[in-house]
Amino acid sequence: MKIVNTVKEMQKIVDTHKKNGDRIVCVPTMGYFHEGHLSLMRIARDYGDIVITTLFVNPTQFGPNEDYQRYPRNFQRDVELASSVNIDYLFSPSVEEMYPDNYHTKITVSKFTDKLEGVKRPGHFDGVATIVAKLFNATKPEVAIFGQKDYQQVLVVKQLVKDLLYDINIVVAPIVREPDGLAMSSRNVYLSQEERNIAPEIFRALNLGIEAVQKGEKRRKIINSIVIEHLRKFPQFFVDYVSAVNAEDFSEPNEFHSGDKIVILVAVFLGKTRLIDNMITTVP
């Protein structure tokens, strides 16, 4: 595995591979790797010849009171873990490399960003869209792998790719969970032992919502309330939002219809840590 720090070097390397007929796969990350990240890298190998993992904690997608400064980082550990799954390149640019002096451009995707994370974290998706576009320009992939856990982000990235005419196939990989159901996240390291013991109740709450849908519940507000009621049994949770939406267009009808693919999305604070999760099902 080779570590690359500059855009020009990354582009030069990619151009050489493309001349040789290699297919490039990109796995964008913010580092502090866990099994969820590694699963994306393994999946990437099935889609091409050269796998590039990007490691960049992007300041523009953090709000002023969010955790950019304390976001977990351990570069040497990340290098060892990425090497263990045999990726070809780790693209790890500096903030100055990605946002040089006199940088004045940002990308705004208006669809899918007017609710949930887009409302709770103003400007977040502008930062996501901008850095994803820049990482795509640096790595020039034919395929990019994203995780389902950031479901709304995936829809934003797909819209970005469509609207800006990127010839990139976006592959969405399933959520990787701990044995007790907690979705793997770099931020899980923030949790105290007591909080970590309670965190799997997010998974159980989502399961209750999915079970209700499978038993015939189609009313969106009832589905939401089932999930919320379980979470509220635990005073340690502060529920930021729970929302069942159409998985394709993010609409929120009063009632879903048979055959609809829906996703239930959750964001909660557990202590000072904000956790997100989701589950997808099809209405019978």
Lay out the sheet containing 2-4: strands in order across: 2-4, 89-91, 50-55, 24-29, 143-147, 169-173
Reported as type and span, the H/E element at residue 193 is: helix 193-198
Name the token pair of 225. 């309330």
The answer to whether 270 and 199 have CB atoms below 8 angstroms apart is yes
Q: Rounded to whole angstroms, how far apart are CA atoms 101 and 161?
A: 26
C-alpha span between 142 and 65 (Å, rounded): 36
Exactly one of 17, 37, 124, 230 is catalytic; name it: 37
Residue pair 32/72 in contact by the 8 Å Cβ criterion: yes
Q: Which class for 194: exposed (0-12), middle (13-18), buried (19 or more C-beta within 10 A)?
A: exposed
Beta bridge partners of 146: 172
Distance of CA 81 to the CA centre of its chain: 19
Q: Is 124 a catalytic residue?
A: no
Contact at 8 Å (CB) between 257 and 275? no
**Residue that is written with structure tokens 């507000």 in the block:** 221
The dihedral of CA 115, 117, 120, 125: what is its sign? negative
Cβ(5)–Cβ(93) under 8 Å?
Answer: yes
- Cβ atoms of 126 and 108 within 8 Å: the answer is yes
Task: Give the catalytic positions in this structure.
Answer: 37
